[in-house]
Amino acid sequence: MQLYNKLSAKEREALIEEAGLDRLTLSFYQYAHIGNPEIFRNHLFIHWNELDVLGRIYVAKEGINAQLSVPAPNFLKFKEHMDSISFLEGIRLNIAREQDDKSFLKLKIKVRDKILADGLNDETFDVTNKGQHVDAEMFNALIEDPDTVLVDMRNHYESEIGHFKNAVTPDVDTFRDSLDIIEEDLKNHKEDKKLVMYCTGGIRCEKASAYYKHKGFKNVYQLEGGIIEYARQVEEKGLENKFLGKNFVFDHRRAEKISDDIISNCHQCGKPCDTHVNCANEACHLLFIQCEECKEKMENCCSTDCLEISRLPYEEQKALRRGQHNSNKIFKKGRSEALIYKK
């Protein structure tokens, strides 16, 4: 039985266009005890592949973390299958604010040690002793309190294009980097301040809130459903939107607009811009912010060196990549020395 993708992204893209069906992009996570993640992974693949689900899903003994898209006509069947799994029954699904039929082009379900790379030893603290979940209305009230410290639990390239007003935005590349930095910065306020956290969909705050309570923080809160759910509630309830800019997302869309504010700039010319791209040189693939003018001038590349390489015939580019460990640049999101106006 086929339990993996055989189609390329281009082939899948063509099939999506041919089908002409609207697709829903959504995400969810759930911490749970999964005895055999491999069997669970295969179970999901068999059922979701039949429903033409596409996406990136991580399964571990501690639970599941999923970002995916499903054809709109198959959504109810997908929900029925979710509800047939005891620990996923009735789970909140974060529906994307901006839909794109090509947000995902493959179904990838991977077994991992953890559903979130946090670098923590979960056996040293009670991961179920989490902070208080708050909705958009209570969140808005909390962050106006002078005794509140609002912390963005995302990475620098995410908060650079969008964040809440007055939020602390750690200049970090990974979630695990932020944990100790935040604790050190707030070590004198563990009892007298309210620690309010937010992230994209809630999963990072789920673990961080328990960790900070373990570290002695007395008043810990987290935004229920993250920025995705906040935006939905703000629109549905007519609340004041306190988020500035775009919400970075981990699919082909790269971001959803939450407000009309542009708070970042093109990394090459400095012009106001909040559009992330990947360098066209496959040996680089650096994620950075690039305006339309620079995109045309630099042919979607981050530097003149990459521009020269990208103009070479494909086989020559492939030969240059052979044996070279250039892929580490992918993880230096926006950090290249070639980018004059990087954060």
Spatial CB neighbours of 254, under 8 Å, sequence gap ≥ 6: 248, 275, 276
Which residue shows structure tokens 């521009």? Answer: 307
Residue whose pair of structure tokens reads 């596409």 in the numeric block: 54
- Residue 210 vs residues 117, 152, 214, 224, 342: alpha-carbon distances, Å: 15, 16, 6, 14, 33
Active site residues: 199
Distance from C-alpha of 322 to C-alpha of 215, rounded to nearest angstrom: 46
- Other CB atoms within a 10 A radius of the CB of residue 1 amount to 6
Contacts by 296-301, CB closer than 8 A, 24 or more apart: 298/268
The two structure tokens encoding residue 261: 């504010």
CA 72 to chain centre: 22
How many CA within 13 A on the CB side of residue 201?
20
Nearest by Cα to 227 from 176, 278, 295, 154: 154
Residue matched to tokens 């179904």? 107
Q: Which residue matches tokens 């800019």?
A: 245
Looking at the DSSP assignment, which residues form a beta bridge with residue 151? 168, 197
Q: How many helices (H) and strands (E) does the chain have?
A: 11, 14
Nearest by Cα to 302 from 328, 327, 329: 329
Render 65-99 in DSSP notation, one character per residue. EEEEEEEGGGHHHHHHHHHTSGGGTT---EE-SS-
CA separation for the pair 166, 161 (Å, rounded): 14
Q: Which helix (H) or strand (E) holds 340?
A: none
How many residues are given for the chain? 343
The answer to whether the CB of 247 falls within 8 A of the CB of 231 is: yes
